[in-house]
Amino acid sequence: MPVIKPFAILMLLLGLAFAANTPSLAQAPDAELSTLVDALGPGSFKDRTAAIDALTQTGDPRVVPVFETLAAGDLYMVKTSGKVVFIAKSGAEQALTDPVTNADLDTAAKSDLDKVKVNNSLRRTLRTAIGQLTLLSPNDSVRLAAAQSILRDADPDSLELLESAIANETDPTIKATMITARAIIILKLDATSLEQKRAAVPLVAAIGGRDALAQLSAALASAPDELKLTIQSNIDGLARDQAAWDVAQNVWYGISLGSVLLLAAIGLAITFGVMGVINMAHGEMVMLGAYTTFAVQETIRQNAPGLFDYSLAIALPLAFLITALVGIAIERGVIRWLYGRALETLLATWGISLILQQAVRSLFGPTNRQVGNPTWMSGGFELGGISITYSRLWIVVFAAVIFFALLLVLKRTALGLQMRAVTQNRRMASAMGIRTPFVDAMTFGLGSGIAGLAGVALSQIDNVSPNLGQGYIIDSFMVVVFGGVGNLWGTLVGAMTLGIANKFLEPYAGAVLGKIIILVLIILFIQRRPRGLFALKGRSIEA
Amino acid sequence: MITQAIFRAIDRKAIWLVSILLLVAVAVPAANLIIPPGQFGHIPVYLVTLFGKYLTYAMLALALDLVWGYCGILSLGHGAFFALGGYAMGMYLMRQVGDRGVYANPDLPDFMVFLNWQELPWYWLGFDNFWFACAMVMLVPGTLAFIFGFLAFRSRVTGVYLSIMTQAMTYALLLAFFRNDMGFGGNNGLTDFKEILGASVQADTTRAALFAATAVGLAISVLICSTIVNSKLGKVMIAVRDAESRTRFLGYRVEYVKLFAFTVSAVIAGVAGALYVPQIGIINPGEFAPANSIEVVIWTAVGGRGTIIGPIIGAVLVNVGKSYFTGAFPEIWLFALGALFVVTTLFLPKGIVGLIGQYRTMTTRREQHQRPEPTEHKPASDVQPKPAE
């Protein structure tokens, strides 16, 4: 090993000299490159080093994947032709790909292939060569990616390479990334001088966030005493920032959880508020909505895979219709016979929920079903120190849209007016000519339909199983009871309060204990305000 | 005059019921132990245990009936009191295992050794004593019910709000008992019991004795409940059920009446749980599941709430059905249970016992006009859509 290292540095210098001489690293012709790649196959490790050297000198970006595959030990040579290839398993055979042109070649049995062998010194050579091809590539984005990868790994071996790359770099952004990477490596190495390290500390701290904190904490242990104070103060500063971001992150998680609760509870709030009916089958409406999404996606997968990104748009109206119809059927079939007997309604709807669960279990099976995320809902982004996934973001947006749409329905439509009238005084509303049975059926349909919409949204973040609804039912009740009945704003405040409180308790108490504390707090809260945060006033409420 | 006669009749019914239960308590164990296997009349031990389980369920249903059927409080958390009583008994049984556990630790139950606990938590102290455990079986559920009820009834949390709160209570306990750090065995609960009062829990004689104890326990519960509901306090309870505000305006302290019923009911449920655990051989957090508590409600409803015998009939019938269906047609069971909820609430508001009453009033229609229904506030025929107030 000690013999190899100077050799690698020599290689690097050779390469650097070459790179400096030929600033415009043009692509080599395919045939020429193929010959060079094929030279990797036969011979000893020494021959292979020479072949790597020759490939590095072409400066061709297509060499990088070849080197990476070789370093991973996945490069193969066809025994008969001596051609070096990429392989991928394809049935019993291996599918071959040309490393230079990326063209598909024949398939071959594994026994017809020879692995191109690598050892540690060759790997080091390869790493240097890859760094040289990337860090010193004429292509800006390649250089940036290479700098970022070094920033992540902070491999001390790449320090020399990085130094030369910084010297040659003209782009300020890339240069800054490289300098930060260098600073991290300097802090890591024992050999670097105190001055270098002192200069490196603020650079590392400037990265910000957990990464910088971790780097500095690691450096603190091995740092010379003179530097410890500087590092420590930087760590403290970072930790303060981090704490602030953590709060922000928790708020975001809380809002996200609150939106989920809001979606699950808002339909319940309507049926409970208007009709005084506890719908225990509400969770199953959510479940039906989720299964509608699953069915829509399955149909699309089989018939029109291109439409997959629109699957949710198709599922939304369908889920609303299906669950609204089921809801109206339940209301007309069972609940209307039980008005005035709230406790019996609770039991009957619980029975309906069992039937619906078992029906779905019989139809779709008891296991979790896979509901895919459309491309516009997968992934995420960073906002300062907060990481936000698109699926959560869309659910927050969706919950807000549903909430305000519902508010609009209640305040601006004839049905909404009638619903509010029935909520406030059923008999008087009836006396004014409102068909209360019709309003009841429509209300129940609306509440159920919204549960179905919630199901479409929840299918994106939760397991779609027959028990999906059960998981939400108690939480939804808590939101409605906490927020107060007959007031959508109460539901909103209730959902957000519970969501955020839950997420803030979680780090201190753990997820389960946090939830228990919330439940106990609600039970105590209800003692103070038996009708929730925003209670309807008036005698009509007292049953 | 007429009502007095009816109450005397109910009382006589209760005496009959107690006598039958005491007879069962003697006859079934005898049929199991004395009549040799294979001979006519022998009851195999698994049936003894199975019916012992049903009788504990009947006790639980009776406890629920006391608050729901007579006092109008629909508790969706009675499973929690049942499970707490069960845990108290389970802790005693756990301590009786002694050093015969897998880890052979004389003091700590296996799961504590497994979790690297060094000493017994304070709340486990004393549970090696049977009588202390028995006291806890009643005290723990009773205290919880008292505190919960005191807070809830004082601030007039009623109706569905109270139901949801009781459900939240059992759900919170479910989550709590799932935690390993609680010191109650977490997910697995307490199991692998060896002996109770020095007798092996596996032995036929012990199982027969446990059955007898359960039947006697149920008989005592029937006595307690019928005494309460036939007393003046019982009449106030029924008044609270049928017209809470009116009762309050008449000067009764409604919250104390409710609190009394709720606490007594929780204690009975706790005892039922304590009798359940040694027969089943395990207690785990699953007993706290809200779904379990709601199932208890349907036993009571099917049998007939507001009667003493109804919940007992309901619990045994529904559970025999459950045992049969989950064995023979597992897919159909939930459909059947769900349908049972719907059908009972729609068509059988008084349950099976009420059905017999309905039949009787049909045959003697004239009598119906003269006899008011003291135990049911709404006539069964009242299925007209009626607006909520």
B328-349 average pLDDT score: 88
* Rounded CA separation B195/A453 (Å): 54
The residues facing A11 across adjacent strands are none
Shared domain check, A121 and A150: no
Q: Answer yes or no: is pLDDT of B387 > 60.
A: no
Q: Give the 3-state DSSP-derived string for A274-307, with helices as H, strands as E and coil as C.
A: HHCCCCCCHHHHHHHHHHHHHHHHHHHHHHCHHH
A357: nearest CA partner in chain B: B334
From chain B residues 196-235, the ones with a CB under 8 A of any chain A CB are none
Instruction: Specify the pLDDT at position A290.
Output: 93
For chain A, say whether B115 makes contact (Cβ under 8 Å). Answer: no
B377: nearest CA partner in chain A: A341
A257, A478 Cβ separation under 8 angstroms: no
Q: What's at A78, amino acid-wise?
A: V
Shared domain check, A431 and A346: yes
Task: Report the 10 Å Cβ neighbour count for A177.
Answer: 21
Contact list, A350 vs chain B (CB under 8 Å): 294, 341
B305, B355 Cβ separation under 8 angstroms: no
A40, A125 Cβ separation under 8 angstroms: no
Shared domain check, A455 and A321: yes
Whether residues A346 and B335 touch (CB distance < 8 A) is answered with no
Q: Please, which residues have CB within 8 angstroms of residue B84's CB and are 6 or more apart in sequence?
A: B140, B141, B144, B173, B270, B273
Instruction: Specify the pLDDT at position A21.
Output: 43
* Rounded CA separation A537/A496 (Å): 23
Q: What is the pLDDT of residues A118-130, one digit of tens each?
A: 787 778 777 777 7
Whether residues A340 and B387 touch (CB distance < 8 A) is answered with yes
Token pair 């106030």 is found at B236
Contact list, B302 vs chain A (CB under 8 Å): none
For chain A, say whether B257 makes contact (Cβ under 8 Å). Answer: no
Instruction: Specify the pLDDT at position A105.
Output: 76
User: What range does the domain containing A465 cover?
Assistant: 245-491
Shared domain check, A75 and A18: yes
From chain A residues 337-366, the ones with a CB under 8 A of any chain B CB are 337-348, 350-359, 361-362
- Measure B123 CA to nearest chain A CA, in Å: 19
Shared domain check, A318 and A219: no
Whether residues B159 and A342 touch (CB distance < 8 A) is answered with yes
Using DSSP, state whether A76 is helix, strand or coil. strand
Higher per-residue pLDDT: B271 or A191? B271
B288-298 average pLDDT score: 92
Instruction: Specify the pLDDT at position A206.
Output: 74
- Measure B172 CA to nearest chain A CA, in Å: 5
Domain ranges of chain B: 2-370
B182: nearest CA partner in chain A: A513
Shared domain check, A129 and A24: yes
Shared domain check, A160 and A295: no
Give the end of a domain, one of A454, A476, A491: A491
In a domain, A423, yes or no: yes
Q: Please, which residues have CB within 8 angstroms of residue B120's CB and are 6 or more apart in sequence?
A: B107, B108, B112
Extract the residue ranges of chain A whose pLDDT is less than 50. Answer: 1-4, 14-26, 539-543
Query: What angle do helix axes B290-303 and B309-328 make, rounded to 10 degrees?
Result: 120
B113-141 average pLDDT score: 90
Q: What is the pLDDT of residues B19-49, one digit of tens each?
A: 999 999 999 998 888 888 888 888 888 999 9
Higher per-residue pLDDT: B354 or A9? B354
In a domain, A498, yes or no: no
In a domain, A238, yes or no: no
In a domain, A531, yes or no: no
For chain A, say whether B325 makes contact (Cβ under 8 Å). Answer: no
Higher per-residue pLDDT: A498 or B374? A498
Contact list, A426 vs chain B (CB under 8 Å): 387-389
Shared domain check, A65 and A120: yes
ipTM for the assembly? 0.83
The DSSP 8-state label assigned to residue A464 in this structure reads B
A378 φ, ψ (degrees, to nearest 5): -95, 160
Closest in A336, A355, A542 to B339, CB measured: A355
Whether residues A358 and B335 touch (CB distance < 8 A) is answered with yes
Whether residues B378 and A341 touch (CB distance < 8 A) is answered with yes
In a domain, A542, yes or no: no
* Rounded CA separation A289/A451 (Å): 7
Shared domain check, A85 and A177: no
For chain A, say whether B187 makes contact (Cβ under 8 Å). Answer: no
Whether residues B386 and A339 touch (CB distance < 8 A) is answered with yes
In a domain, A512, yes or no: no
Instruction: Specify the pLDDT at position B366.
Output: 53
Instruction: Specify the pLDDT at position B61.
Output: 96
**Of A452-461, B58-67, B109-118, B148-157, which has the strongest mean pLDDT?**
B58-67
Shared domain check, A431 and A289: yes
Q: Give the pLDDT band (50/70/90) at residue B214.
A: very high
Q: How far apart are the first and last CA of chain A?
A: 87
* Rounded CA separation A227/A459 (Å): 52
In a domain, A528, yes or no: no
For chain B, say whether A167 makes contact (Cβ under 8 Å). Answer: no
Shared domain check, A327 and A185: no
* Rounded CA separation B52/B275 (Å): 9
The count of structural domains within chain A is 3
In a domain, A73, yes or no: yes
Lowest model confidence (mean pLDDT) among A378-382, B8-12, B276-280: B8-12
Shared domain check, A463 and A415: yes
For chain A, say whether B345 makes contact (Cβ under 8 Å). Answer: yes
Q: Answer yes or no: is pLDDT of B361 > 80.
A: no
- Measure A424 CA to nearest chain B CA, in Å: 10
Q: Give the pLDDT band (50/70/90) at residue B367.
A: low
Contact list, A522 vs chain B (CB under 8 Å): 168
Instruction: Specify the pLDDT at position B377.
Output: 47
